[in-house]
Structure 1
Amino acid sequence: MKVALVCPYSLSWPGGVQGHVLSLSTHLRDLGCDVRVIAPCDATPPSCEVISVGKSRSFDANGSIAHLALGPRPFLRVRHVLDAENFDLIHIHEPFQASASVFALLQSRDTPVLGTFHAAADELDHYRRLRFALEPLWRRITLHAAVSDAAADLARKYFGGEYRILPNGVEVEAFARAEAVARDASEFVVLFVGRLEPRKGCAELIEAWKTVEARVPEARLWIVGTGPQEPDLRRAAADAHLSSVDFLGALGTEELRARFKSADLFCSPAIEGESFGIVLLEAMAAGTPVLASDLPGYASVLRGGAGELFAAGSSEALAGSLTALAENSARLSALVDLGRARAAEFDWRILARDVLDVYEEMLTTGVGRSAA
């Protein structure tokens, strides 16, 4: 089976959709699929199976930054690749995101298309404004999917239909076998990983940390990531005279896994725009307990008590949860076991097989287009 995985975002920048596509492509190849990844790239493509449609430009999108390749050249590049490769199936991620995804959907012709929606929010501006223009594209998708119930709910709000849930995955073994970094064992280390932008909630975490540092003298906060809010966050920590906050910047894959492995607690305080929460799975796979805001996407990942939740956007609730967990080693130990079991359900080795089953279903039974 020859499959195209289409990603609208540049693979030269980190992101949840990019990571999903690259991991899925690796595991599909392990299962015998002939896979090509079609996406923008701003540097050398990460593997020989990646076909670049050109360099990207940055745009504001859903409270973050999207790196997209727009214009006639990427459009014609996608056309050339689809014509030359003769794929059996095209799997388009974020099918309504301008760039390679929309270009591939427009030129899919009679090739079956699986469209996977990733975004989650109360509403999405370009879905709302372009709804009637996008509806014909929605009907070009043979089978609609989403990475979570929250992502399916957003797409259904504007376009109706039914969505197969094909979730994000995690490289369980890689995180489980990561080597811990050297650190002071007497400290209680909390880890944050994410782009430093308002929707990720790091400002609320800094505010909460004022209480945590006062109540838990041995507490230390590791902040991993960069972004437009970084100067303000550094200033807020300095103005509050917080001596236990370390800004670590962007880390490579192995060092990031080591930080996950080394922390006593992982905290994801996002306030909006999270459809799933891959970082929660990564922490749990590494054996680190999770505390997260109660967004629907996060709550679905932490189902069954796999992690602790607090009220999104409330620095007071966050401070209370952090201090309570710092003082409850038995609860932390229980969360480790629950989290590992939950992460195992999202092992890419399992999920890629599920995706391949969907491909085979589409090709052998001729799954029809979902009704609007």
Structure 2
Amino acid sequence: ALEKISARIAVSEYARRTLVEHLGGDAVVIPNGVDVDFFARAEPKTAWQGGTLGFIGRIDEPRKGLPVLMKALPAILAARPETRLLVAGRGDEEEAVASLPGAMRERVEFLGMVSDEDKARLLRSVDVYVAPNTGGESFGIILVEALSAGAPV
């Protein structure tokens, strides 16, 4: 099947190198596209505004870095006790907050899987989008989406 492919693309230089390393040949880098206006025009949700950090990603995927954020959350809450964290994505919510002291767990709200519209609304609503990614991903498109929504990253 690979012999029938006449051209290859990769979303980043990292993805291109991985492709070349494992499959041979070469690829042209064409980054993922983002509909910037979709995120920029999203209507913020009042309930998600005010002292809010946002995180979107698979809860139990180590590369997304939620454990890194949970480890930092006590220091964040010590400095800014009114802060809350909204987490959108699938995974074991109880395991995600297991390292937090009980009183701090109520500062974390899990939204589960959200629609594209709610993802854009979330990114337009938060004060800061937190990206504790640990590496190993070819392209963090959520970063472009957050910036498109006007969220500091």
Could you tell me the TM-score, scaled by structure 2's length?
0.88
Task: Summarize the Cα distance change of 1:160–1:184 in structure 2 as closer, same or farther, 3 Å threshold.
Answer: closer
User: How many residue pairs get matched?
Assistant: 151
Amino acid across the alignment from 2:127 = D
Q: Against the structure 1 CA distance between its residues 157 and 211, is the aligned structure 2 distance closer, same or farther, given a 3 Å change threshold?
A: same
Contact 1:201/1:269, CA 8 A, preserved across alignment: yes
> Matched residue of 2:137: which SS?
coil
Q: Distance in 1 between matches of 2:48 and 2:35?
A: 28
Answering whether residue 74 of structure 2 is matched by residue 182 of structure 1, we say no
Alignment of 1:231-270 (within 5 A): 231-237=94-100, 239-242=101-104, 243-270=106-133
Return structure 1 stretches of 4+ with deviation > 4 angstroms: none
| TM-score scaled by length of structure 1 | 0.38
Structure with higher strand content:
1
- Is this contact kept in 1: 2:124–2:151, CA < 8 A? yes
Question: Separation in 2 of the partners of 1:262 and 1:241?
Answer: 24
1:159 corresponding residue in structure 2: 23
Q: Distance in 1 between matches of 2:93 and 2:109?
A: 12
Distance 2:102 2:148 in 1: 34
Q: Distance in 1 between matches of 2:65 and 2:31?
A: 23
* Superposed displacement of residue 184, structure 1: 7.4
Deviations 1:185-213 (A, max 9, x none): 6x421100011112321111111101100
The one-character-per-residue Cα deviations of 1:158-189 (angstroms, maximum 9, x if unpaired) are 3343321111111111111100011476x421
Matching of residues 83-102 of structure 1 within 5 Å: none
* Alpha-carbon distance in structure 2 between the residues aligned to 1:232 and 1:194: 15
Residue 145 of structure 2 aligns with an amino acid whose one-letter code is E
Structure 1 spans left out of the alignment, 5+ residues: 1-105, 107-136, 291-372
Q: Partners in 1 of 2:149 and 2:25 — Cα distance?
A: 37
CA contact under 8 A between 2:44 and 2:121: conserved in structure 1?
yes
CA deviations 1:59-83 (Å, max 9, x no partner) are xxxxxxxxxxxxxxxxxxxxxxxxx
Deviations 1:296-339 (A, max 9, x none): xxxxxxxxxxxxxxxxxxxxxxxxxxxxxxxxxxxxxxxxxxxx
Letter aligned with residue 103 of structure 2: H
**RMSD across aligned C-alpha pairs, in angstroms?**
1.8
The one-letter code matched in structure 1 to 2:118 is E
Alpha carbons 2:52, 2:126 under 8 Å: kept: yes
Cα shift at 1:240: 4.7
The structure 2 residue matched to 1:282, chosen from 141, 145, 148, is 145
Any idea what SS the aligned residue of 2:8 has?
strand
Question: Are the counterparts in 2 of residues 189 and 220 from structure 1 also a CA contact under 8 Å?
Answer: yes
Task: Tell me if the contact between 1:210 and 1:240 (Cα under 8 Å) persists in the aligned partners.
Answer: no
SS of the residue 1:289 aligns to: coil
Query: Which of 60, 63, 66 is the aligned partner of 1:199?
Result: 63
Structure 1 residue 147: Cα displacement: 0.6
Larger RCO: 1 or 2 (CA < 8 Å, sep 6+): 2
Contact 2:83 2:107 (C-alpha < 8 Å) held by counterparts = yes
Q: Distance in 2 between matches of 1:145 and 1:250?
A: 29
**Matched residue, 2:90:** 226
Aligned to 1:69: none
Distance in 2, matches of 1:254 and 1:159, equals: 37
Gaps of 5+ in 2: none
Whether the aligned pair in 1 keeps the contact of 2:48 and 2:122 (CA below 8 Å) is no
Distance of 1:173 and 1:184 partners within structure 2:
21
The answer on whether the counterparts of 2:19 and 2:26 sit within 8 Å (CA) in structure 1 is no
Q: Give the corresponding residue for 2:32.
A: 168
